[in-house]
Amino acid sequence: MTSASGLITQNERFEEAKIPVDVYWFDIGYTTNSMYFAFDQTRYSKKGLEVMNQIIDFSDRKLVVITDPHVKLDEAYRVYRLGKDLDYRPDPDDPSMLFTNIFIKSKNLPGTPFEGSSWPGNSVWIDFMNEGA
């Protein structure tokens, strides 16, 4: 869906036609600048999201927003900054050591997150095989 109001309208049409729908899936189009977890505020305002969620819930449907394992490398992106900050936090058992377990590391530059190109541009990848991530 391209907006909160668009999903609300689509939901009403399914209701009127008595078409069974369990789940709506959102792909990257909901985001701001291809940054996961950041709804585009012009199409999904806080109030719009609130109303959309209430209507979807009332209709006994679910909403799933998909993500990929990469994170857009952009200092303005809160998710990237948080991951970067956590990536180099002190080990509570040995403060002289740093955890480096949020992002997959480069084999050519040890301790440095692997950077690669993905459809949103330069990206890093979360190390989902590591509990600390």
Q: Which of 37, 65, 93 is the last residue of a domain?
A: 65
> Of 65, 87, 105, which marks where a domain is finished?
65
CA dihedral 45, 46, 52, 55 (to 10 degrees): -150
Write out the two tokens for 85. Answer: 């900050």
Query: Helix (H, G, I), strand (E, B), or coil: what is residue 101?
Result: coil
Q: What digits encode the pLDDT tens for the residues 47-106? A: 999 999 999 999 999 999 888 888 999 999 998 998 888 877 776 777 776 666 789 989
75 and 101, same domain (yes or no): yes
Classify residue 14: in a domain, yes or no.
yes
Q: Which residue has the tokens 């900050």?
A: 85
Q: Output the pLDDT for position 116.
A: 94
Answer whether 123's CB lies under 8 Å from 71's CB: yes
What residues make up the domain containing 77? 70-125
Of the pLDDT bands very low, low, confident and very high (cuts 50, 70, 90), residue 43 is very high
What is the residue-averaged pLDDT of the chain?
A: 88
pTM of the predicted structure, to 2 decimals: 0.69
